[in-house]
Structure formats: C-alpha cells, structure tokens
Structure 1
Amino acid sequence: MRAIRLHTFGPAENLRLEEVADPVPAEGQVRIDVRVSGVHLIEARLRRGIAVGPHRPPPLPITPGAEVAGVVGAVGPGVAADWLGRRVVAQVGEGGYAEQALADVGALYPLSEELADEVAVAAITTGATAQGILGVAGLTERDVVLVMAAAGGLGSLFVQAGRAAGALVVGVAGGRAKVDRVRTLGADVAVDYRVPNWPERVREALAGHEVGVVLDGVGGALGRQALELLGPGGRFLMYGWASGEPTEIGTRDLVERQLSATWAIGPNMVPPGGRRALITRALDEAASGRLVPTITRFPLARAADAHAALENRTAEGKVVLTV
C-alpha cells in the first residue's frame, strides 16, 4: 500500500509517499481501507521534533495520522466478521496517512448513510473537542462571544454554536478570504486580525456592547488583545496557542476587572460517559446537519502541502487527506 512516511524530523517536505507492506490486524483489531484521514496542527509540530504539552516526538520512522474514515477490509482474531464491509470512523493513534490503517475494534464508530467520510473525520476529534469546550463555555442568548481563529477547525464550529445559542458572535480571522468565510458561517461581526487596529474595529462594530466570552486558541499577542476586549465579569476560555505561546494573563487582570480564565481542555470538558460520549454527540450533531465543519482537502500524496497550509495558516477549517 501507499503511505506517508517521516524518517527525519524537520520541514513539511520530509513527509514522503512510499510503498510499504499492508498492515495485518492483530487480535481485537480491524484493518480499515482508508478513504479520508485527518490532519492536525499538533502533528506538524511533532513532525519538527517539537514536544507539545504531554505529546512527545515519536520514534522514527513513522506514518503519522490519528484518525481515519473508511471501510473495514479485514478483521483480526476475536473480532466479529459482521464488521467486514462496514463504513466506520476511528481514532488510530498513528498510521492514518495511508491507504490502510489498523484500529482497535473498541475504537470504531459505525457511520450512517448520510454522514460523509470527511465530515466524520472532522467530527471524531475536532468536533468532539468543540462539544467539550462548548460545554465548559455554556453559551446563552445573553452572551457576546468573541471567537479567535474563527475560520479554523474549532473556531468555525464555535461560530455556528454561538449563533445556535442565540449569542451575538464576533469572529476574528486572518485575511479577507477567511473573514468572508466567517461571515458566511453566521458571525454578526467579522474582523481581520491582520489589521493593526482590529480591536478598535470590534468595539465600533459592537456599538456599546461588551464582549463577555472569549474562546482563544491563538494565544500570544493576539490572545492578549482579545483579553483586553473583555468587559467586567468576562470569561476567557483557552484551548491552545497556535501562535507558539499562550496568552499572558496576570492576577491583576482577574482581580481588577473581575475576569475569570479557564483552560478548557481536559477533565473539566468531559461529561459523564467520557470521551466516547463527546464523540458520539459530535457524530450525531454532524449527521443531523447541526454541526457543519469547514473542510480543506488535500490528496494523500500532498500531505506535505497539508502540513504547510496548517503552519502558514492558509487552510480553512479541518484539513483532511483524501485517499
């Protein structure tokens, strides 16, 4: 089969398409004939040999890729034969950038007819994470919510969820095309953070309303500017720092302005039923059409371009590889 292999840490060009042996499912595993594989920014960081939180660069060589959708083509010992031929989506840990991947049978989620492979891949990790963060945020019609990176995989879902909750939504993104996309997602206000005075543009557009909730996955100077937009009693929810460093928050910010700050990733976002409950909810939302992910597609052979697009922030929404 064909697979993307990484032999040396470094730039995106180090991802190479190669011929490798077909994987053989062990006991309790299935082999998925992959149709779509998900791509994450964290995978691009690990590709460079950079640790990200608890994630450490893996031993090389490796085939990256933690989530796939496709059809079960073979089953290992102890796995019911009725899985054969079924469309599924799964988290596989690694090996997803390939024509075939192995998954534990307990990691499989059957797909309904109406749920496209690429949408399922967007839902199983990005969608589930969004559901968890939104549970922490608890948005209502009384909120004015500012979404950073609003054209991204998570941000685009937050814009939709904010509108569905009846909140007034401000979407912040980089570049005219992304800002236009944020508007089509339903944001009441869409602003380009590449414009130097973008916070003032937000204030002008809100015409006296104050931001009450910020969802920040960018961090750094942009995250700090978003924090400064919060009114008294505002809530600042962090879930990442795509800029390379987290938003700087001091005790004075919390005390003098009565703000609260929360790291929204982790145990506080997981409901009863655990991670599987979040994934099931995200898949149900996607199948019903209430969750509509924005997707940027690359063929498997262009995995390097997919990583570069994530790192250069030129991709919109969830990035996937099609096989």
Structure 2
Amino acid sequence: MQAWQVHENGEPSEVMRLTEVERPTPGDGQVLLRVRAANVNFPDALLCRGQYQVRPPLPFTPGVEICGETEDGRRVIANPALPYGGFAEYALADARALLPAPESLDDAEAAALHIGYQTGWFGLHRRAHLEAGETLLVHAAAGGVGSAAVQLGKAAGATVIGVVGGADKAAVARELGCDVVVDRRGEDVVAAVKEATGGRGADVIYDPVGGEAYTQSAKLVAFEGRIVVVGFASGTIPSPALNHALVKNYSIVGLHWGLYNTKNPKLVRHCHEQLTELAARGVVKPLVSERVPLAEAAGAVQRVADGVTTGRVAVVLEKGASA
C-alpha cells in the first residue's frame, strides 16, 4: 500500500515521503481501517517537526484524524494509532474508540467533525460552561479549530466575535456566522472588541493561538469571564500574570481534549452524539476548504503549518486501495 512516512524530523514538505509499505497488522484491541479521508491538523506538522507531546518512533505515518471503513463495511471516525497514521491507504485504530460517521456528512466532512469539534464542544461546554446570551470571542476564527468553535458558539446561542488575519479569512468568518469580525492585520483587536461590546469584553475567549492573542485575551475578558487555552499555533507559549487574573476576576481554563479518551471515554461518545445531532439538523457543518489526493498530502500539511489555509484541508482517497 502507499503511505507517507517521516524518517527524520523537519518541515512536512521536506521530510514526508510517499512510499510503498506493507499493510500494518492490528495489535491487541486494534482494527485495520481502509482510509476514506484523512483530515489535516496542526499536530500533524508538529509531529513532523518532533515538537508534539506524542513522539512516535521513526519512521512513522502522520495523520491523526480519519474517516475510515472497517472490514465489514462500516463507515467510522477514528484517531489512528501512531506510528500507523491516516496519510496512507490503511491505518490502525483502537477498536473501542471507533465512532460512527454521521450519515449527513461526506467522508471529508465526517473526518473533520472529530478533533476540532470535540475540542470546541469540551472547551465551550465542559470547561467554560458557555451560556446562551453570552459573548464568545474566537481567535483564528477561520481556521479548522476556530471555525468549529464559531459554529458551536452560535448553536449555543452566543454572540460570536471572530478574530482573523486577512480579508479573505474575514469573509470566511462572516460566512460561518460571526456576528462581529475583527481583522488583526488592519485593526486594533483590543479597541475593536471593546467597541463592539460596549467596553465589557467577552465572557468566553477561545484561544488556539497563544502569544499575542493571549495578551489580547487578558485585556478583553469580561468580569467572571473564562479564557480557554486550546493550543499555541503562534509558536509562543504565554506566561500569564496570575495577579491580573485575581484583580480582574477571570478564569484561565486549560483544555487537553485527548485526555478525555482515557479519563472519561463515555463523555467523548456523548459529545459525538451531540455533534451528530447538530450535523443532522444542519446547525454545524465542517468547513472543508480543500480536498486533495493522497499524493498531495505533504503539501497540504505544509500549508496548514504555514497558517495559509481556512477551515479544514482533507486528503481524500480513491476507493480502490492497493495491497
């Protein structure tokens, strides 16, 4: 079968190589899945660089989120078991963690409903307890993680402010349903959000960026607000001033969604049921901006790493997979 492999760490476009390999053999509790679509996530780039919290042995195949097909023909969503990731014709996954792919979504959309939307649901509902009528600010609102949070925020009845970088991404954020869009490249984010909220700020701030975005968040969080720390796509991990959180009376909430798979897997399934229902109603629909063949996976991962994409980029495989 064909699979992309990383033999040394570095930039995705430089270290990912498409090669012919043997199909992986499932271990105890694992299943072999034929990959139908693999979604590109920022952690795929970090895996290539050797900067992710999980470091599979070299060589490995990246691709942490797929829509696949079981040997008995079931269409499922899964997080592949590294080192046998999703940028290949076949991948391995934990049999207990398979989730049914929503019938209302195609393969690429189904693959994209998983990590980003689970992260958004847990971040907004489990960790921040977002309520209808509150104001939600989403950094990188046109990206894969941010676009999911925007849709989930709107579904929850919140007023959503999206912060983006560039006119094209601003247009995407508006199409996603943001009530207010702030382009950080041409506007003062703090001033624009304060004006939009009458000086009050946002009740919940969803931050997958870190760095300067977090600095802005601390200035914009409302009384009894919650800043949800989701990731550090900027490459800079902030050091929050806890005295500021004290005097301004807000919470800094961390979210590592992957922990729920081991700490509370039943809640992950409950979340999937909620997301499937929202998708069936058309309330949420993953924004898949690009669909590329397996041969173009390395370039797709590099574009996501460079921050030039909107929504999700999906690697879509043809039905006939080789041996």
- Same-fold call, TM > 0.5? yes
> Equivalent residue for 1:86?
74
Query: Following TM superposition, by how much is the alpha carbon of 1:97 offset from its aligned partner in structure 2, in angstroms?
Result: 0.7
Task: Provide Cα deviations, 1:13-69, integer angstroms capped at 9, x if missing partner.
Answer: 21111112233445654332211012221121121122x3xx243211111122221
Query: Following TM superposition, by how much is the alpha carbon of 1:271 offset from its aligned partner in structure 2, in angstroms?
Result: 6.5
The worse-fitting range, judged by mean Cα deviation, of 129-138 and 204-213 is: 204-213
Task: Provide Cα deviations, 1:202-230, integer angstroms capped at 9, x if missing partner.
Answer: 22333445322211111111220122122
Kindly provide the amino acid, as one letter, of the partner of residue 121 in structure 2: Q
Q: Cα RMSD over matched residues? A: 2.4
- Structure 1 residue ranges without an equivalent (≥5): 74-83
Any residues of structure 2 matched to 1:138-149 within 5 Å, and which?
138-149=129-140
Q: Identity percentage over the alignment?
A: 37
Q: Conserved in 1, the CA contact under 8 Å of 2:87 and 2:315?
A: yes
* Partner secondary structure for residue 114 of structure 2: helix
* Partner secondary structure for residue 65 of structure 1: coil
What CA distance in whole angstroms lies between the structure 2 residues aligned with 1:5 and 1:272? 30
Q: Conserved in 2, the CA contact under 8 Å of 1:160 and 1:291?
A: yes
Give the number of the structure whose alpha-carbon radius of gyration is greater: 1
What CA distance in whole angstroms lies between the structure 1 residues aligned with 2:28 and 2:247? 58
> Equivalent residue for 1:78?
none
- Structure 2 residue ranges without an equivalent (≥5): 318-323
Query: Following TM superposition, by how much is the alpha carbon of 1:299 offset from its aligned partner in structure 2, in angstroms?
Result: 2.0
What CA distance in whole angstroms lies between the structure 2 residues aligned with 1:98 and 1:252? 48
Is 2:272 the partner of 1:279?
A: yes
Task: Name which of 180, 184, 188 aligns with 2:171.
Answer: 180
* Partner secondary structure for residue 58 of structure 1: coil
What CA distance in whole angstroms lies between the structure 1 residues aligned with 2:128 and 2:81? 28
Task: Name which of 86, 96, 111 aligns with 1:121.
Answer: 111
Tell me the TM-score normalized by structure 2: 0.87
Q: Aligned residue pairs: how many?
A: 310
Kindly provide the amino acid, as one letter, of the partner of residue 205 in structure 1: A
Query: Following TM superposition, by how much is the alpha carbon of 1:315 offset from its aligned partner in structure 2, in angstroms?
Result: 1.3
What CA distance in whole angstroms lies between the structure 2 residues aligned with 1:39 and 1:170? 25
Task: Name which of 195, 202, 206 aligns with 1:204.
Answer: 195
Q: Conserved in 2, the CA contact under 8 Å of 1:92 and 1:107?
A: no
* Partner secondary structure for residue 45 of structure 2: helix
Query: Following TM superposition, by how much is the alpha carbon of 1:147 offset from its aligned partner in structure 2, in angstroms?
Result: 0.8
> Equivalent residue for 2:305?
311
What CA distance in whole angstroms lies between the structure 2 residues aligned with 1:107 and 1:56? 18
> Equivalent residue for 2:19?
18
Kindly provide the amino acid, as one letter, of the partner of residue 175 in structure 2: T
Task: Provide Cα deviations, 1:185-218, integer angstroms capped at 9, x if missing partner.
Answer: 1111101122352321222333445322211111
* Partner secondary structure for residue 273 of structure 1: helix
What CA distance in whole angstroms lies between the structure 1 residues aligned with 2:11 and 2:141? 26
Task: Name which of 58, 81, 95 aligns with 1:105.
Answer: 95
Q: Conserved in 2, the CA contact under 8 Å of 1:23 and 1:100?
A: yes
